[in-house]
């Protein structure tokens, strides 16, 4: 039987003394005193129609994290009834050169007519926007000043999950507010062009563009995004890695724009089911779901359904990595790709073009043609006409006429273009019928819908 005793007063005193000696957490005061003078408040003005009266930071939260604008309480007034007014915005930034270079987010200054930078010593300067890059959300400003305090930049690649970091900024227009937390993940895949640093540091409207600082006093990121279902902070925030931000800022300062390479492909990841069905050892690589007509990839001979597993010898884990490698390569450079096609590896060289707005591929409707008989996959198909093949830029393929059974369950639709079945190109409706009859318990269709392609798993019922 377990017995319990009351501790003596001396024991209680010792325990209390030990508890008082333990530090609850790090003391950030010295760090803040050193870094604070280089953090700035950014104020913007913009002339807008009178009906655009909602708070710009709230609207920005909705745009960045919900993908849609904040709903309006009333419809816009006709232009002749909408006098102009000045809308004000607020954000944060930090000084990176003693002669007045300031880093912040592109969305903080986007569309601004005037930008003002206020220092910690209360001096205020009108700033010039040197350049912005919306794809990475980086902007560099210039103020006419000298001998300014600056922040030391570090290397985000050296950060570790669980490491303490702080954010200094102007949430809700409150200058030089400090919040703290830990790094939750070092390279979170949340965008096409940058892997972001995830933290649990409280970041609120107005913090955008401020620095994320480690315990050595080094800037490791620019606070840029939050994850939110309510428009407020929910424990997840994201920062742009500082070395990526500086690389972008260097191009903006040098030429006013960022130049990126492109292959002319739309890429997605390979999931486990598809990898198993295709006999792949793993899910690594970038799946080519669409090829730009006349673009670098098409000229090099890449096809829908190819899986790119290496870029200039660097193994590709996920499609986002491949997009970044291409974007970080100067246009006009010839790169070597390792590609899996129909179960075999091949090497392809591609000369990159400059990244620009994507052009949508054409969509086609099925034209009357003799229908192939139904099959155990539950798909009836039609041959593509020569004109349709030319419009799609496809050498082979058939168009789906009707679906039932396994195909309907998997989400195949009439009008989809089937390019391949189980790693074999589909040449005609008749050929597809023969291939479908030989299908096993699990088959993979390479399906093009509109302007993208994807693998679709089918699990037909046994005869």
Encoding tokens for residue 134? 């919306």
List pLDDT tens digits, range 312-356. Answer: 999 998 888 898 899 889 999 999 999 999 888 999 999 999 987
Encoding tokens for residue 139? 């902007």
127/435: higher pLDDT = 127
> What residue spans of 45-93 are helical by DSSP H?
56-66
131 contacts 145 by C-beta, under 8 angstroms: no
CATH number at residue 306: 2.30.42.10
| Total structural domains within the chain | 3
On whether both 160 and 96 belong to a single domain, the answer is yes
In this structure, the chain runs to a length of 463
- Is residue 5 situated within a structural domain? no
On whether both 179 and 38 belong to a single domain, the answer is yes
Task: Judge residue 249's burial from the number of C-beta atoms within 10 Å of its C-beta, 0-12 exposed, 13-18 middle, 19 or more buried.
Answer: buried
Encoding tokens for residue 451? 């302007």
74 contacts 178 by C-beta, under 8 angstroms: no
- Is residue 1 situated within a structural domain? no
How sure is the predictor about 456, in pLDDT bands with cuts at 50, 70 and 90? confident
On whether both 62 and 179 belong to a single domain, the answer is yes
| Whole-model pTM over 0.85 | no
On whether both 304 and 237 belong to a single domain, the answer is no
Where does a domain end: 223, 258, 293? 258
On whether both 76 and 206 belong to a single domain, the answer is yes
74 contacts 107 by C-beta, under 8 angstroms: no
- Is residue 373 situated within a structural domain? no
The separation between CA 103 and the C-alpha centre of its own chain, rounded to angstroms, equals: 20
On whether both 100 and 115 belong to a single domain, the answer is yes
The DSSP letter of residue 371 is: B
Query: How many other CB atoms are there within 10 angstroms of residue 29's CB atom?
Result: 9
Q: Which residues pair with 425 in a beta bridge?
A: 420
Query: How many other CB atoms are there within 10 angstroms of residue 162's CB atom?
Result: 8
CATH number at residue 165: 2.40.10.120
- Is residue 305 situated within a structural domain? yes
Compute the average pLDDT of residues 226-241. 70
pLDDT value at 214 more than 90: yes
Phi first, then psi: what are they for 222, rounded to 5°? -110, 120
Where does a domain end: 290, 319, 354? 354
Query: Residue 298 and residue 311: Cα distance in Å, rounded?
Result: 17
> What residue spans of 94-195 are helical by DSSP H?
106-109
Query: Residue 422 and residue 412: Cα distance in Å, rounded?
Result: 16
On whether both 407 and 439 belong to a single domain, the answer is yes
- Is residue 10 situated within a structural domain? no
On whether both 436 and 389 belong to a single domain, the answer is yes
Compute the average pLDDT of residues 416-428. 83
List pLDDT tens digits, range 381-400. Answer: 888 887 777 777 777 788 88
Where does a domain end: 258, 282, 313? 258
- Is residue 52 situated within a structural domain? yes
On whether both 242 and 312 belong to a single domain, the answer is no
pLDDT at 228: 53
The residue segments making up the domain with residue 425 are 379-458
On whether both 142 and 53 belong to a single domain, the answer is yes
pLDDT at 366: 43
393 contacts 298 by C-beta, under 8 angstroms: yes
Query: Residue 219 and residue 302: Cα distance in Å, rounded?
Result: 41
Residue 167 Cα distances to 32, 60, 171, 200, 433, angstroms: 10, 20, 10, 11, 61
283-311: b or e for each residue (b if 16 or more CB lie within 10 Å)? Answer: bbbbbbbbbbeebbbbebebbbbbbbbbb
306/440: higher pLDDT = 306
On whether both 66 and 167 belong to a single domain, the answer is yes
106/436: higher pLDDT = 106
On whether both 124 and 192 belong to a single domain, the answer is yes
- Is residue 206 situated within a structural domain? yes
- Is residue 30 situated within a structural domain? yes
Catalytic residues: 107, 137, 208
Q: Which residues pair with 446 in a beta bridge?
A: 420, 455
pLDDT at 20: 53
Query: How many other CB atoms are there within 10 angstroms of residue 410's CB atom?
Result: 19
């Amino acid at each position: 039987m377990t017995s319990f005793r009351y501790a003596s007063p001396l024991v209680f005193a010792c325990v209390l003394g030990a508890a008082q000696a333990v530090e609850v957490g790090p003391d950030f005061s010295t760090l803040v005193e050193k870094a604070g003078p280089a953090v700035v408040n950014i104020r913007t003005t913009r002339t807008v129609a009178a009906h655009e009266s909602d708070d710009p930071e709230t609207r920005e939260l909705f745009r960045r994290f919900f993908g849609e604008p904040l709903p309006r309480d009333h419809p816009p007034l006709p232009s002749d009834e909408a006098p102009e007014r000045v809308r004000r915005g607020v954000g944060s930034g930090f000084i990176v050169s003693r002669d007045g270079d300031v880093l912040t987010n592109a969305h903080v200054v986007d569309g601004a007519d005037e930008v003002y930078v206020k220092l910690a010593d209360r001096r205020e300067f009108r700033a010039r926007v040197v350049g912005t890059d919306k794809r990475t959300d980086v902007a560099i400003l210039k103020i006419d000043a000298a001998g300014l305090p600056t922040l030391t930049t570090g290397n985000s690649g050296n950060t570790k999950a669980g490491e303490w970091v702080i954010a200094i900024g102007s949430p809700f227009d409150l200058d030089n507010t400090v919040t703290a937390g830990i790094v939750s993940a070092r390279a979170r895949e949340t965008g096409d062009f940058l892997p972001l640093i995830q933290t649990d540091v409280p970041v609120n409207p107005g913090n955008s563009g401020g620095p994320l600082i480690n315990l050595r006093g080094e800037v490791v990121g620019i606070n840029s995004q939050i994850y939110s279902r309510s428009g407020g902070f929910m424990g997840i925030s994201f920062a742009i890695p500082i070395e990526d931000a500086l690389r972008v800022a260097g191009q903006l300062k040098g030429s006013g724009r960022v130049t990126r390479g492109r292959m002319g492909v739309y890429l997605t990841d390979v999931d486990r089911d598809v990898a198993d069905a295709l006999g792949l050892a793993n899910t690594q690589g970038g799946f080519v779901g669409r090829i730009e007509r006349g673009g670098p990839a098409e000229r090099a001979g890449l096809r829908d359904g190819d899986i790119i597993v290496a870029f200039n010898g660097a193994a590709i884990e996920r499609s986002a990595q491949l997009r970044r490698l291409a974007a970080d390569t100067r246009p006009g450079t010839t790169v070597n790709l390792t590609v899996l096609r129909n179960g075999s590896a091949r090497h392809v060289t591609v000369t990159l073009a400059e990244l620009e707005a994507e052009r949508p591929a054409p969509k086609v409707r099925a034209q009357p043609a003799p229908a192939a008989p139904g099959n155990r996959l539950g798909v009836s198909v039609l041959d593509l006409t020569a004109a349709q093949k030319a419009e799609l830029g496809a050498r082979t393929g058939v168009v789906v006429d009707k679906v039932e059974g396994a195909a309907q369950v998997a989400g195949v639709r009439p009008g989809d273009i089937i390019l391949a079945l189980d790693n074999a190109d589909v040449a005609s409706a008749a050929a597809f019928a023969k291939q479908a009859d030989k299908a096993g318990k699990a088959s993979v269709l390479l399906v093009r819908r509109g302007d993208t392609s994807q693998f679709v798993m089918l699990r037909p019922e046994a005869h």
